[in-house]
Amino acid sequence: MFVTASFVGVTSLVCIIFFALVRPLAIYVWDPKDLRRFPSASAWGIPGWAGWSNFWLARAILKQAKSHSVLHAHEKYGPIVRIQPDHLSFSDGEAAKTIYGFQSRMPKGKFYESIGDEDAHGHILKNLVTTDDREEHQRKRKYVSNAFALKKILTLEPAITRRTGHLIKCLDNQREALQADNGQLDLYRWINYFLYDTSAELTFGETLGLCDKGNDVLDTLPFDGSPSCQFEGIETFQSAGSYISLFSPWPSLAQKLRKLTSWHRDASKGKKFAEAVHLYLQQRLKRGDTSEFRDFVSYLLRDSHQKPRDLEYAELLGETFVIFGSAIDLVASVATNAMYHLIKNPECMRKLREELDDALGDTLVPTNDQICRLPYLRAVFDEATRDRPPIAHGLARTVPEGGATISGHFIKAGTTVSVSAFALHHDASIFPEPWAFRPERWLDANADPLWRECLVPFSLGPRACTGRNLTFTLIPLVMATLVRRYDFELPSPDWEMEWREPLNMSPISLPVKMKIRNLKANEAKGIDS
């Protein structure tokens, strides 16, 4: 028994050393894809580190600073940098169009396999985001294309405004708690509670009540029939992301590495989150459809002629997980970032309030129609996504058979290529003063049209975000409501919000003091009573 265990251990170690060190080094020297002509990112003075080892990227991921590290590599080495032995990162808008645009034939890279889970037979489960198969993608995309069409999103507006009004009511009620806790409240958490509730209502037809509870405790329905347990949604989602992304530099080893580290405290967190989605989905299936409201799950269950799609349960759960989760984590990051910069820059806040007060009169929770054409509100949204695109890292794609020319360089088939939205958005030659929050840059009639093309928070082409219409409705609406209802104060004038990048880029917290503004809107059309 002991001999078998040590044999397995030694064999695993030898395999890991071979795949993680020896093989990449040999490939670097052999250079079959002719990649040595490009500079390799480095650190700690190790020459060409990222060119012959995946540990440069693994180190950046471990520090939760993948996108910052790639940005710094571009600043140091130029617009094309090797960030893994077989991975080139580009930082220009033309490359983004070639790699992701509608003309591109580049499938998703191996990275997506590394973040997927295995089924009972050892096959990696693919969802709409992770599948690299064109036909499978088209089939899955068809399920949700109607659900996310603008016409449909507009029908969700009453639910979104109702949830926004309820958020305001709950925040108003927090005033007593605020007195107790140094007068501060973590706005990032509250935006999350609001989005959990809203996403649950849009996805399953029923809210979770987190704004009422004032916490992010979720229940599970364990897959193995064990008793239900509770966990904190925000922390669990992010720890799960940081655990799976840790092994992403070695996609072919990722599943094995996960098994070897299954003792790690974050190893079961993704499953825990999936078990919560499983609970809400089961409850939804038991409730059945309602005639008044068509939730996202109903689009996965039936087509537009009401014909059942008969998806296997694992697929139904996987797609539901993507929709439910995307409408929380990514949206919370952008909305929080916009609020932070507005509070930090009183002149931006003043301009936005002026625009909103003129347009909205005494309406506190506006309709999409009232705010969708407000230029300054849109400019704040664009600047917040430029400053911190939540999917900040480069979305890996594989160069197909026959190779491809990217930014004037011929790249051989099989090479992984990507453009990091974060690096592109902070390229000073494209966006002057990239670290300054300046919504005005989007309003300048003489602005370089290149800027618009280089703003890619939702990616481009056939694999771009399906949830854009929902995001364009949700974030401006909650932003407009919050800035009109409250005056905010940061812990100190020089306080700066900190970020981490477990998988996506997220703020850590946004502690603020809040006061209800002295405004006509306090008579409050739209606050839930």
The residue (of 111 and 376) whose beta carbon lies closer to ligand HEM is: 111
The residue (of 77 and 296) whose beta carbon lies closer to ligand HEM is: 296
Q: How many CA atoms lie within 13 A of 486 on its CB side?
A: 23
Stretch that binds ligand HEM, among 175-183, 239-247, 464-472, 520-528 (CB under 6 A): 464-472
CA-based nearest residue to 458, from 469, 448, 450, 449: 469
The correct pick among 20, 60, 96, 334 for binding ligand HEM (CB under 6 A) is 334
User: In whole angstroms, how close is the CB of 195 to ligand HEM at the nearest point?
Assistant: 9
Q: Is 244 in the site for ligand HEM (CB under 6 A)?
A: no
User: In whole angstroms, how close is the CB of 409 to ligand HEM at the nearest point?
Assistant: 22
Report residue 341 as tokens. 């910069």
Residue 211 annotated as lining a ligand binding site? no
The correct pick among 42, 75, 125, 141 for binding ligand HEM (CB under 6 A) is 141
User: In whole angstroms, how close is the CB of 467 to ligand HEM at the nearest point?
Assistant: 2
The residue (of 246 and 470) whose beta carbon lies closer to ligand HEM is: 470
The correct pick among 19, 458, 472, 499 for binding ligand HEM (CB under 6 A) is 458
Distance CA 28, CA 31 (A): 5
Q: Which phi and psi angles does 511 have, rounded to 5°?
A: -75, 130
Residue 125 per-residue DSSP state: P
CA-based nearest residue to 364, from 503, 186, 162: 162
Q: Is 455 in the site for ligand HEM (CB under 6 A)?
A: no
Distance CA 101, CA 49 (A): 31
Q: What angle do CA 368, 207, 286 make, to 5 degrees?
A: 125
Distance CA 438, CA 384 (A): 9
The correct pick among 53, 104, 326, 418 for binding ligand HEM (CB under 6 A) is 326
Q: What angle do CA 180, 182, 183 make, to 5 degrees?
A: 80
User: In whole angstroms, how close is the CB of 285 to ligand HEM at the nearest point?
Assistant: 20
- Report the DSSP beta bridge partners of residue 81: 89
The correct pick among 41, 95, 301, 327 for binding ligand HEM (CB under 6 A) is 327
CA 339 and chain centroid, separation: 18
The residue (of 43 and 464) whose beta carbon lies closer to ligand HEM is: 464
Q: Which phi and psi angles does 285 have, rounded to 5°?
A: -65, -35
Name the packing angle between helices 346-360 and 375-387 (round to 10°).
140
Q: Which phi and psi angles does 475 have, rounded to 5°?
A: -70, -50
The 10 Å Cβ neighbour count of residue 392 is 23
Report residue 287 as tokens. 């409730």
The residue (of 218 and 395) whose beta carbon lies closer to ligand HEM is: 395
Nearest residue to ligand HEM, using CB? 467
Q: Is 67 in the site for ligand HEM (CB under 6 A)?
A: no
Q: Is 506 in the site for ligand HEM (CB under 6 A)?
A: no
Kindly compute the dihedral angle of the four CA atoms of residues 308, 310, 311, 313, in this order, to the nearest 10 degrees: 120
Q: Is 339 in the site for ligand HEM (CB under 6 A)?
A: no
Distance CA 53, CA 47 (A): 11
Q: Is 423 in the site for ligand HEM (CB under 6 A)?
A: no
The residue (of 68 and 386) whose beta carbon lies closer to ligand HEM is: 386
Stretch that binds ligand HEM, among 33-41, 159-167, 383-391, 516-524 (CB under 6 A): 383-391
Three-state SS across 265-325? CCCCHHHHHHHHHHHHHHHHHHHCCCCCCCCHHHHHHECCCCCECCCCHHHHHHHHHHHHH
Q: Is 390 in the site for ligand HEM (CB under 6 A)?
A: yes
Stretch that binds ligand HEM, among 43-51, 300-308, 322-330, 376-384 (CB under 6 A): 322-330
User: In whole angstroms, how close is the CB of 328 to ligand HEM at the nearest point?
Assistant: 8
The correct pick among 81, 128, 187, 240 for binding ligand HEM (CB under 6 A) is 128
Binding mask 396-415 for ligand HEM (x = CB under 6 A): --------------------
Q: Is 277 in the site for ligand HEM (CB under 6 A)?
A: no
Residue list, annotated binding site for heme: 465
Residue list, annotated binding site: 465
Note the residues at the interface with ligand HEM (CB under 6 A). Answer: 128-129, 141, 322-323, 326-327, 330-331, 334, 389-391, 395, 457-459, 463, 465-467, 470-471
